[in-house]
DNA sequence: CTGGAACGGAAAGCTACGTTCCGCTATAGT
DNA sequence: ACTATAGCGGAACGTAGCTTTCCGTTCCAG
């Protein structure tokens, strides 16, 4: 295996680094209000192993949120590189974001801690990429133009709200409803005009402040 | 006005009955974990006014949940009475349920208290009505047949997860996304096959037990 | 052999919530 | 006019659960 020598206190600690992050991601994704103890238990470590790495719960949450944004950004960049069929590129992007499942964490945790500059910068970058992907799909004529970038963000949140059974089942269902959604988004097709104005950026960003 | 004689201790109490229920509905819809004190404050009454009416928080929650189900049932029955255009009847039904906003309360509160037989009976009745409405739309050929009744229930939850700004704005946006959804549901149209099996009834009912 | 990094988990300290309780007010009945 | 009392506001109480600290233990590095 590619695993480094697994004995030694240092190696153990390095493995715990990853173990703790994975556990924290899983636990807080399932329940954003979960206690620290739940993370420790899931990771199979003591509470002190957590506090050795992060000064407080809030710091751990920030780390998780930042990781989520970076994953979001990575998926978006990959989608922008896709020079194939415009619709498939856009649909693949949406499937990728839904699989990344960073919306749940990023959105639900927003407002529970002070955003750092680094976090703000990542959010801006993510937003830029989303805008470009959206614009490209509209310009290619494959995406109905009365749906805005902000709409897409809210639609991601709706997909993230689907939760039923275990993680695998949940993912399966999210893709089921994403397929339904993509049917409605695709152009050309017969569409009714959407009622009400699209969300403003200000409305979305308002949730980032406690 | 149609308001009954507003003086007198009894009249005051009767008005508080309604005031408290309205406040509770609003508060718990916004945050299912809200404290009792928040309800009292919103209603403009003291805490004891609540405890005079309901023995415990759980009882209040049950009452709210039951009211929500009854509203759901009323909307469904009205939809079944609609003998006009099949698609419009179905679409009106969905708009009605989204406006009733009983999914948020009923679903989010499920599992936080012991269900009474009365509550169970209402849930069964609601489920029956939903099945009939769904079946009628499919038989009329206006609803894509690969979407099940359980799918519709989960889609209602997705609409209920939309929350942005005040109540009015939230309702506006829910209708925006419902319109998108209806586009995908309507038949005839060109649709891709949905991936994954539809949710089982057992999966849904599993969330009712703590 | 030993200093200390890393750890497990108990306990401290705190917050927030549900519920109770007490004193007050304004009516209804006489 | 008088009083018994239903209804009420909100302080007080008890508790559950959470974050954070702290201390004894283990095990590698030198």
What's the pLDDT score for residue B172? 92
- Per-window interface: B 174-203 vs A, CB < 8 A: 175-177, 179-185, 189-192, 194-199, 203
What's the pLDDT score for residue A32? 93
As a three-state string, the secondary structure of chain B is CCCCCCCCHHHHHHHHHHHHHHHHHHHHHHCCCCCHHHHHHHHCCCHHHHHHHCCCHHHHHHHHHHHHHHHHHHHHHHHHHCCCCHHHHHHHHHHHHHHHCHHHHHHHHCCCCCCCHHHHHHHHHHHHHHHHHHHHHHHCCCECCCCCHHHHHHHHHHHHHCCCCCHHHHHHHHHHHHHHHHHHHECCCCCCCCCCCCCCHHHHHHHHCC
What's the pLDDT score for residue B4? 45
Asked whether residue B74 carries a pLDDT value surpassing 90, the answer given is yes
* A91-130 confidence digits (pLDDT tens): 999 999 999 999 888 888 877 888 899 999 999 999 999 9
Q: Is the C-beta of residue A56 closer than 7 Å to nucleic acid chain D?
A: yes
The answer to whether B6 faces chain A, any CB pair under 8 Å, is no
Asked whether residue A5 carries a pLDDT value surpassing 60, the answer given is no
What's the pLDDT score for residue B191? 66
Q: Do A183 and B180 touch (CB under 8 A)?
A: no
What's the pLDDT score for residue A3? 38
Q: Enter the pTM of the model.
A: 0.91
Of residues A162, A173, A181, nearest to B184 (C-beta): A181
The band of B163, judged by pLDDT with boundaries at 50, 70 and 90, is: very high
* A14-53 confidence digits (pLDDT tens): 889 999 999 999 999 999 999 999 999 999 999 999 999 9
């Amino acid at each position: 295996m590619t695993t480094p020598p697994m004995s030694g206190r240092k190696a153990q600690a390095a493995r715990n680094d990853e173990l703790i992050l994975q556990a924290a991601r899983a636990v807080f994704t399932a329940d954003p209000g979960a206690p620290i103890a739940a993370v420790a238990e899931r990771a199979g470590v003591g509470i002190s192993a957590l506090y050795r790495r992060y000064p407080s719960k809030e710091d751990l949450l920030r780390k998780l949120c930042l990781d989520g944004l970076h994953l979001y950004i990575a998926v978006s960049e990959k989608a922008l590189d896709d020079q194939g069929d415009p619709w498939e590129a856009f649909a693949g992007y949406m499937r990728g974001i839904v699989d990344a499942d960073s919306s749940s964490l990023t959105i639900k945790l927003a407002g529970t801690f002070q955003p750092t500059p680094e976090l703000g910068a990542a959010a801006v970058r993510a937003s830029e990429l989303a805008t470009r992907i959206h614009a490209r799909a509209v310009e290619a004529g494959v995406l109905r133009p009365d749906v805005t970038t902000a709409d897409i963000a809210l639609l991601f949140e709706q997909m993230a709200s689907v939760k039923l059974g275990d993680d695998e089942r949940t993912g399966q269902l999210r893709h089921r409803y994403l397929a339904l959604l993509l049917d409605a988004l695709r152009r050309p097709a017969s569409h009714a005009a959407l009622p009400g104005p699209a969300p403003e950026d200000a409305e979305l960003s308002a949730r980032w402040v406690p």
